[in-house]
Amino acid sequence: MNKIATKVTDQMDFFEGNDPVALAKQYGTPVYVYNERILRERCRDLKNLVTYPKFVVDYSAKANCNLAFLQIVKSEGLEVDAMSPGEIFMERKAGFAPEEIFYICNNVSAEEMQYAIDAGVHISVDSLSQLEQFGQIAPGHEVAVRFNPGVGAGHHEKVVTAGKKTKFGIEPKYIPEVKALLEKYDLKLIGINQHIGSLFMTGEAFVASIAALFEIAKQFPGLKFVDMGGGFGIPYKKEFDEAPLDLKELGEAIDKALYKFAEEYGEQITLRIEPGRYISAECSLILSEVHSVKHNHEKKFVGCDCGFNVLQRPIMYDSYHGIEVYRGSDVKSEQTETVTVVGNICESGDILAKDRELPEIRKGDILGILDAGAYGFTMASNYNNRLRPAEILIRENGEVVLIREREVLEDLLRHQIALKNV
């Protein structure tokens, strides 16, 4: 195998001795590849973030909800959040106990709330009207409430989930109304939570937001937990040596805030975070085959089989993903050139990397699209009636196992009902 540009995966020993070209051949492309060791390391990074004793990491399963993946997260002693009955269902299948699941819903029906109540999980609601609905269907029940601390952060305006421009959370000025509803329906407030947004690379906003959240918490004695949310970022521009989040510095700042809060609150209650991306992004890449290389006017296009049905982040948020090139033949190529890497979907926006400087890419080469484990497969679709890809896992001993089969054409017909007469 002639590896052409593999700085990132080599440094991480991502393939654990396996050949990406051989994996692409054996499992077909596109395929999501996960590395178990890296996933476990990321779980441990966050479990050890602080010294505060009652600290719980809830993995945010919306980032990646694969069953085998969840089983590994569970075995690392993390708990989970959920955003839908589907996520609760998967988490129960992966072995999480109901009390290890925190359902943080947004604008859901009474039936959905009832599903969560019946499942026995902790539930957070994030508006006065949803609190009223909860009280009506489950008077006397335990509940948590999501507040908007007024501080937001994130890599794109679409993923900032606190502050003035978002639908999420209850403004602190409505605390009297929250208290009135809790009393009206005899609800027991067990926790409060927030999530300021997704992907911060420095901790200021997060630390400011937890200070604001703790001020809110102090107005509610008797809480069992406060959940500070997720958003911990990862460096997507690794080939340019983008620095990772300084977990030591951030951990120390958070730790200080946690102890201070516990002292002021008068009790060391459970304090939680709910990271998705940090845990799941870096342990995965997509292998995709190049099927055409062409010039169109001034641009050189590299066309591969990873369309935005497979990875939506670039078209949705203009997100950057590093790309490596693997080649089966022993032809060496040191040259680089500027290319635009595109998928196979019938939209011009189907671009994985625009005007990117990459080693010379040829038809038949295999691309590695890096850091794809968070919001990758979970956002994949059947657009253009394409099949959602397989997922494989490189175990810690280097063995490769299939953890999701590639869809087949018949899957496209599932749940469709043909007319009897036309």
Which residues are tagged catalytic?
Answer: 346
Phi, psi dihedrals of residue 69, rounded to the nearest 5°: -60, -45
Structure tokens at 85: 């009955």
Nearer to ligand LLP, 23 or 101 (CB): 101
> Contacting ligand LLP (CB under 6 A), which of 42, 277, 327, 388?
277
Q: Is there binding between residue 39 and ligand LLP (CB under 6 A)? A: no
Give the bridge partners for 57, in sequence order.
Answer: 273
Cα 415 to chain centroid distance, Å, stands at 28
Nearer to ligand LLP, 200 or 220 (CB): 200
Q: Is there binding between residue 14 and ligand LLP (CB under 6 A)? A: no
Q: Is there binding between residue 149 and ligand LLP (CB under 6 A)? A: no
Nearer to ligand LLP, 301 or 383 (CB): 383
Q: Is there binding between residue 124 and ligand LLP (CB under 6 A)? A: no
Cα 104 to chain centroid distance, Å, stands at 15
> Contacting ligand LLP (CB under 6 A), which of 12, 33, 70, 104?
104
User: Shortest Cβ distance from residue 127 to ligand LLP (Å)?
Assistant: 14
Q: Which of residues 309-348 bind ligand LLP (CB under 6 A)?
A: 313, 317
User: Shortest Cβ distance from residue 392 to ligand LLP (Å)?
Assistant: 21
Nearest CA-CA partner of 102 in 62, 154, 46, 43: 62
Nearer to ligand LLP, 66 or 161 (CB): 161
> Contacting ligand LLP (CB under 6 A), which of 39, 46, 49, 63?
63
Q: Is there binding between residue 29 and ligand LLP (CB under 6 A)? A: no
With contact defined as beta carbons under 8 Å apart, do 76 and 57 qualify?
no
Structure tokens at 221: 């004695």
Quote the strand ranges of 333-389, DSSP E: 336-342, 351-359, 366-369
Q: Which of residues 216-245 bind ligand LLP (CB under 6 A)?
A: 229-232
Q: Is there binding between residue 276 and ligand LLP (CB under 6 A)? A: yes
> Contacting ligand LLP (CB under 6 A), which of 195, 238, 272, 388?
195
Of the ranges 34-42, 193-201, 240-248, 257-265, which one interacts with ligand LLP (CB under 6 A)?
193-201
Phi, psi dihedrals of residue 294, rounded to the nearest 5°: -150, 160
30 upstream amide cis, omega within 30 of 0: yes
Rounded Cα gap, residues 356 and 89, in angstroms:
41
Per-residue DSSP letter, 389: P
User: Shortest Cβ distance from residue 290 to ligand LLP (Å)?
Assistant: 24
Angle at CA of residue 182, ends 181 and 185, nearest 5°: 80
- Find the length of the chain: 422
Q: What is the DSSP string of 176-244?
A: HHHHHHHHHTT-EEEEEE---BS-BSSSHHHHHHHHHHHHHHTTSTT-SEEE----B---S-GGGTPPP
Q: Is there binding between residue 91 and ligand LLP (CB under 6 A)? A: no
> Contacting ligand LLP (CB under 6 A), which of 36, 45, 91, 274?
274
Where does this chain bind ligand LLP (CB under 6 A)? 60, 62-63, 81, 104, 159, 161, 195, 198-199, 229-232, 274-278, 313, 317, 374-375
